Amino acid sequence: MEKELNSVEQAPAVKISNLHYDYPSHWLGRPTPALKNLNLEIPRGESFGFLGHNGAGKTTTIKCLLGLVTPRHGSCEIFGESSLSPQSRVAIGYLPEQPYFYDHLTVYELVEMYAVLAGVARHRRASAVNAALESLKIKERSGSRLRSLSKGLMQRVGMAQAIVAQPDLLILDEPFSGLDPIGRRDFKELLLALKEKGTTLFICSHILGDVENLCERASIMVAGELKKTLTVNQLAEGQERHYELVISNGKSDSSYLEAVKREQLAGGSFRLVYDSEQKARAALAGSLDAGETVESFQRLQVSLEDLFIQTVGESQGKR
Amino acid sequence: MEKIISIAGNTVRESIRSKILFSLLGFAVVLVLVATFFGAVSIGDQVVVIKNFGLFASSFLCVLYIVISGSAMLQKEINRKTIYNILAKAVSRREFILGKFLGMFITAMILLILMGAGLLLFVFLFTGQIETALLVGLYFMSLELLVVCSFCIFFSSVVITPILIALFTFGIFLAGRGAELLLYYVEQEYIESGLATVVKGLYYILPQLQRLNVNDLVAYGVSISDTQIFWSTMYSFGYSIALLALSVILFEKRQFA
């Protein structure tokens, strides 16, 4: 028994093994594969980005983790518990994509109801609800009916119900959708604070910049398959480096020849991208010698967005 | 248990804050006033007509509430995806189904109590005394509602369209009220022997709602024995528990793809 408990205590936050899921067919049609042999492990305390285009299988993976669908093959574990057991969800907070809640309830009533369902003890329920509302800056709206709230406020309510029981694992499906810049900043600050406290974050998002800032590791899904998993360090160091030179008053065409990308900017300047430092420095020297004005010269880091587009493009090219 | 109560509480709150409950109550008042008019122009005792019609209206409107509101209850959760967020908490599907059932039944009971109280008051205005026999009629009605609610939840756990759920639930209510006719046709040999076995089987499967309908007896002041009350209670609870167990088993297998 003790051994069993230890294994649960040491288990990763999320473990997905050989997961296959097919969308059920109607009548005699063939089922459509949604997830193909998905393997993923997220250690406790990690913030993980789960990326993919629409229909890549991100939400289906979340549904498997939440026990909303039963996989055809394979398993999902949350802190060592099978995701098919309700017990596995004791440690989960979940924010759905475009959350819709009971609009007959007030903000407070809704978060309180989810606190009950999440198993928050009666004596600390009121303080837990108030703390969640305060951290999302919606305490003053606690008496408002949900039907009167904007999309951004609804997203905040969604986050409040997700964190009300202080979960160890937070699964967020497009958490930044519908938020204004201030809302996005507040959400980022909150998520960073939760990360500091050791909460494991599982973030599905299309806004790759946010994932890049928040996550230590990210995976890219394409058509139900996990195509690439990389850490932030890998992203910064392991990728091909490019150099960008922006010049104005361009006179000579010689420096353009070696550029892998050339474009004219709105103000009449030219943006040149080189795939080696040597070529870029030669172009820089050439431009200075020709009396052109160098507006900027910098090394470009391949962004998660570039990598995402590249990975999806490669996969679509293969198909 | 607290989770079941919380889900039930939310269901009751949703019904109370929607307009359907009050519309049905308004409709009940109109029906009782119509009964008064019929009572005044009929040959028999006016109070008997009011009691009979009042009990009928209460029963019918509560069943109507279950058919209209109850049949869409679970589907609304699925279509709006609010169920995802509930099942994403440590809530089992069994707790969810029982919570929804309890919420639906409590709301139907609130409606029944309000209409029953109105009927008691109305009869009191005519007779000057509180007709406690009406309480027995209302008790039997609550047993009938228990079974109808269970059927509504059962159909909701397997059928996808609210209209079909409503039709099936109302169909079961009508079939249950007329189940004794099936046995009558078999005994009178109106049905061929091969089909008679099937019809007799159907009679045993269908809920015996006619046995829970004591409106006429109550209206005419016929007393109902304790034995009948006891066995009717046992029957309704047994039937309801069996249906809910089946609903839970089927709902556990449902995929929210």
Cβ atoms of residues A70 and A22 within 8 Å: no
Interface mutation target, options A26, A83, A94, A102, chain B, most CBs of B under 10 Å:
A102
Low-confidence residues of chain A, pLDDT below 70?
A: 1-9, 25-29, 207, 233-241, 250-257, 301-307, 310, 312-319
* Distance to chain A for B165, nearest Cα, Å: 20
* Cα gap B256→B151, rounded to integer Å: 22
Both tokens assigned to B53: 């019609």
Instruction: Extract the tokens encoding B25.
Output: 């109550």
How many Cβ atoms from other residues are within 10 Å of residue B84's Cβ?
22
Residue with tokens 């959400």: A187
Amino acid symbol at B112: L
Cβ separation of A60 and B256 shorter than 8 Å?
A: no
Q: Give this prediction's pTM.
A: 0.80
- Region B28-36: mean pLDDT is 75
Report how many Cβ contacts below 8 Å link chain A to chain B: 79
**B129 at interface of A, judged by CB pairs closer than 8 A:** no
Tokens 């139907």 correspond to what residue? B108
pLDDT at B148 over 90: yes
Q: Can you name the residues that pair with A243 across neighbouring β-strands?
A: A274, A299
Give yes or no for residue B43 having a pLDDT over 70.
no
Across the interface, which of B2, B3, B82 has its CB nearest the CB of A102?
B82
- The two tokens of residue A210 are 């946010």
Answer yes or no: do B89 and A114 touch at CB < 8 A: yes
- What residues are paired with A236 via a beta bridge? none
Other Cβ atoms within 10 Å of B237 Cβ, number: 14
Which letter does DSSP use for residue A100 in this model?
Answer: -
Q: For B153-196, what is each residue's pLDDT tens digit?
A: 999 888 778 888 889 989 989 888 887 887 787 777 777 777 87
- Structure token digits, residue A310: 């590249």
CB atoms within 10 A of CB B56: 16
Q: Which of B175, B173, B155 is nearest to B164 (CA)?
A: B155
Round to whole Å and give the CA distance between B86 and A81. Answer: 19
Cα A176 to Cα A99: distance, rounded to the nearest angstrom: 12
Which one of B10, B74, B85 would you mutate to disrupt binding with A, by most A Cβ within 10 Å of its Cβ? B85
Find the residue in B nearest to A119 (Cα). Answer: B90
Please judge whether B256 and A161 are an interchain contact, meaning their C-beta atoms are less than 8 angstroms apart. Answer: no
How many C-beta atoms lie closer than 10 Å to residue A237's C-beta? 10
Q: How far apart are the first and last CA of chain B?
A: 28
- Token pair listed for B135: 């309480």
Chain B residue closest in CA terms to A102: B82
At A26 the pLDDT is: 67
Segment among A161-165, B45-49, B144-148, B200-204 with least mean pLDDT: B45-49
Q: Which helix (H) or strand (E) holds A291?
A: none
Ranges of beta strands (E only) in chain A are: 14-23, 32-42, 47-52, 73-78, 81-82, 92-95, 169-173, 200-204, 217-222, 225-231, 242-248, 261-264, 270-274, 293-300
> Rounded to whole angstroms, how far apart are CA atoms B42 and B182?
32
Give the pLDDT mean for B41-64: 80
- Helix, strand, or coil here: A273? strand
Q: What percent of chain B has pLDDT over 90?
A: 23
Cβ-contact A167, A92 below 8 angstroms: yes
Query: Could you tell me whether strands A225-231 and A261-264 are parallel, antiparallel, or unpaired per DSSP bridges?
Result: unpaired
Sign of CA dihedral B243, B247, B249, B250: positive
Q: Is A70 in Cβ contact with B85 (below 8 Å)?
A: no
**What is the reported pLDDT for A255?**
56
pLDDT at B46: 75
3-state secondary structure of B208: coil
Rg (CA), chain A: 24
Residue A117 has which token pair?
A: 């369902």
C-alpha to C-alpha distance for B120 and A257, rounded to whole angstroms: 97
Contacting B with CB below 8 Å, chain A residues are 23-24, 34, 60, 63, 66-70, 86-87, 89-90, 92, 94, 96, 99-102, 104-105, 109, 113-114, 116-119, 122, 161, 171
With an 8 Å Cβ cutoff, is B257 touching chain A? yes
Dihedral angle sign, alpha carbons of residues A85, A91, A96, A100: positive
Q: What is the dihedral of CA A203, A205, A207, A211, to 10 degrees?
A: 20
Mean pLDDT in residue range B50-73:
85
Q: Give all domains of chain A, ordered by start, each with its CATH number.
A: 2-232 (3.40.50.300), 242-301 (3.30.70)
**Which B residues, 56 through 75, put their C-beta within 8 Å of a C-beta on chain A?**
none
Which residue in chain A has the smallest CA separation from B6? A113
pLDDT tens, position by position, B77-105: 888 888 888 988 889 999 999 999 999 99
Judged by a CB distance cut-off of 8 A, whether residue B205 touches chain A is no
Structure tokens at A7: 């294994």
Please measure the distance between the N-terminal and C-terminal CA atoms of chain A and give it in whole angstroms: 49
Beta bridge partners of A299: A243
Please give the pLDDT value at position A305: 66
Distance from the Cα of residue A156 to its chain's centroid: 17
For residues B120-141, b (16+ Cβ closer than 10 Å) or e, as one string?
Answer: bebbeeeeeeebebbebbbbbb
Taking alpha carbons only, the member of B246, B209, B257 closest to residue A68 is: B257
Q: What are phi and psi of B207, to 5 degrees?
A: -70, 135
DSSP state letter for A85: S
Q: Does B19 touch chain A (CB under 8 A)?
A: no
pLDDT at B123 > cutoff 70: yes
Chain B positions in Cβ-Cβ contact with residue A96 (cut-off 8 Å) = 81, 84-85, 88
On whether any CB of chain A is under 8 Å from the CB of B127, the answer is no
What was the pLDDT predicted at B247? 92
Give all strands of the β-sheet with A225-231 in edge-to-edge order.
A92-95, A169-173, A200-204, A47-52, A217-222, A225-231
Q: How far is B73 from chain A (nearest CA, A)?
A: 12
Enter the DSSP assignment of A88. G
Mapped onto helix, strand or coil, the DSSP state of residue A15 is strand
What DSSP letter does each residue of A107-152 carry, written as one string?
HHHHHHHHHHHTT--GGGHHHHHHHHHHHTT-GGGTTSBGGG--HH
